[in-house]
């Protein structure tokens, strides 16, 4: 395995691990902790997901750069592009809507529940599958 491919595989699996840990463990569990109110949970979630998305953008750039420097298989490119597109949709389309609702809740308004969280989670599942596929394909080449 070339050094570029090793870096790409490592970044893909670290990205995958971060998404699994934060989106599927931390996010739902924080609301079950004693004394964590909806307002506190939303405030924490906003910070955590803003940081996660920032790191994800850096990971996407690293993967794209290594792919340009040392082109992987078509399957890896396809899986990576799916992950990149999902991340872009989350940041540009879904997160602003979630932020609008959380702004209302944090301001003390009784905002209706948002279906945006379900969209975000659905996109996270797609991203996890794309990253897992990219990682497996990188290791199998």
Cα distances (angstroms) measured from residue 96 to each of 9, 31, 66, 101: 30, 21, 30, 9
**pLDDT tens readout for residues 52-99:** 999 999 999 999 999 999 999 999 999 999 999 999 999 999 999 988
* Encoded tokens for 95: 């997160």
Provide the phi-psi class of 35: left if phi over 0, else alpha when psi is between -120 and 50, else beta.
Answer: left
For residue 65, the tally of other CB atoms under 10 A from its CB is 14
Decide which of 17 and 33 is more confident: 17
How far apart CA 132 and CA 126 sit, in angstroms, is 10
Please, which residues have CB within 8 angstroms of residue 87's CB and are 6 or more apart in sequence? 53, 56, 57, 60, 127
Per-residue pLDDT, 123: 97
Per-residue pLDDT, 31: 84
Mean pLDDT for the chain?
92
Per-residue pLDDT, 38: 83
How would you class 59 by CB atoms within 10 Å of its CB: exposed for 0-12, middle for 13-18, buried for 19 or more?
Answer: buried
How would you class 66 by CB atoms within 10 Å of its CB: exposed for 0-12, middle for 13-18, buried for 19 or more?
Answer: buried
Per-residue pLDDT, 76: 97
pLDDT band at 25 (very low <50, low <70, confident <90, very high): very high
Per-residue pLDDT, 1: 79
User: In the predicted model, what is the mean pLDDT of residues 12-38?
Assistant: 92
| Separate counts of helices (H) and strands (E) for the chain | 6, 0
């Amino acid at each position: 395995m070339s050094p570029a491919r090793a870096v790409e595989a490592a970044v893909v699996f670290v990205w995958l691990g971060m998404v699994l840990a934060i989106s599927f463990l931390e996010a739902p569990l924080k609301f079950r902790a004693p004394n964590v109110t909806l307002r506190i949970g939303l405030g924490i979630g906003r910070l955590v997901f803003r940081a996660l998305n920032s790191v994800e953008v850096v990971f996407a750039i690293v993967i794209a750069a290594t792919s340009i420097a040392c082109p992987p298989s078509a399957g890896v490119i396809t899986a990576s592009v799916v992950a990149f597109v999902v991340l872009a949709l989350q940041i540009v389309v879904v997160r602003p809507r979630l932020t609008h609702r959380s702004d209302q809740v944090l301001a003390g308004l009784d905002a209706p529940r948002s279906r945006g969280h379900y969209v975000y989670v659905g996109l996270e599942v797609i991203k996890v599958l794309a990253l897992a596929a990219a990682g497996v394909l990188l290791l199998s080449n």
